[in-house]
C-alpha cells in the first residue's frame, strides 16, 4: 500500500468515525426530545378512565333550534309567530301604519318602493319610517323586562 493509499484510507476511517459520532448524538437528542414530550403528554386512556371525559364533540350549528314558546303577532289579517316575547309586545305597541310597514318589509320581503306605492308615500319616506320604527322598537324592547 502506498503512502497516498494509506492517507486515503485514513481519511475514509476518519470520515466514517465522524459520521457515526454525529448519528449517535442525533439519536441521543431525539431520545431526549421524546422523553421530554412523554413527560408533558397525558395518555387518552388516562383521561377516559380517570376523568370520564367523552372523546367526542357535538356540533350544534346544524341542529334545529328548539324555540319553545312562540308569541303571535297579527297584522293585515295574518298572524306571525315570533320567538321573542319582548319583540311581540313591542310590535303590538306600535301604531297600525308602522306595524304594516314592518310586516311588509321584513315578513313579506317587499321593497321600500313597493310599500310606498301601496301606501302613497315615496321610497325615501318609507325608508325613514322603517328606520324610525326600528329605533322605537329597540327603545321599547330595552324598556321591557327580558325573557
**Cβ-contact 105, 130 below 8 angstroms:** yes
pLDDT tens by residue, 22-52 = 999 999 999 999 999 988 887 666 655 555 5
Comparing C-alpha atoms, which of 76, 144, 136, 138 is closest to residue 105? 76
β-bridge mates for residue 82, sequence order: 71
Residue 63 has pLDDT above 90, yes or no: no
pLDDT at 13: 94
pTM confidence score: 0.52
Distance between CA atoms of 140 and 94, rounded to whole angstroms?
10
Count CB-CB contacts under 10 A for residue 81. 11
Q: What integer is the mean pLDDT of 121-141?
A: 91
Distance between CA atoms of 17 and 23, rounded to whole angstroms?
10
Q: In the numeric block, which cell numbers belong to residue 139?
A: 327603545
Distance between CA atoms of 140 and 134, rounded to whole angstroms?
10
pLDDT at 131: 94
pLDDT tens by residue, 67-113 = 677 888 888 888 888 888 888 888 888 899 999 999 999 889 999 99
Q: Model confidence at 21, in pLDDT bands (50, 70, 90)?
A: very high
Residue 60 has pLDDT above 90, yes or no: no
Amino acid at each position: 500500500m502506498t503512502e497516498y493509499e494509506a492517507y486515503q484510507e485514513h481519511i475514509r476511517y476518519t470520515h466514517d468515525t465522524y459520521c457515526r459520532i454525529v448519528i449517535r448524538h442525533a439519536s441521543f437528542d431525539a431520545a431526549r426530545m421524546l422523553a421530554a414530550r412523554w413527560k408533558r403528554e397525558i395518555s387518552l386512556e388516562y383521561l377516559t378512565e380517570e376523568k370520564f371525559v367523552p372523546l367526542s364533540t357535538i356540533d350544534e350549528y346544524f341542529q334545529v333550534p328548539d324555540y319553545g314558546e312562540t308569541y303571535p303577532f297579527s297584522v293585515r289579517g295574518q298572524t306571525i309567530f315570533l320567538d321573542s316575547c319582548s319583540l311581540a309586545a313591542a310590535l303590538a305597541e306600535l301604531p297600525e301604519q308602522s306595524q304594516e310597514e314592518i310586516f311588509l318589509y321584513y315578513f313579506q320581503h317587499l321593497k321600500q318602493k313597493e310599500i310606498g306605492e301601496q301606501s302613497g308615500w315615496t321610497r325615501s319616506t318609507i325608508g325613514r319610517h322603517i328606520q324610525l320604527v326600528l329605533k322605537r322598537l329597540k327603545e321599547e324592547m330595552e324598556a321591557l323586562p327580558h325573557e
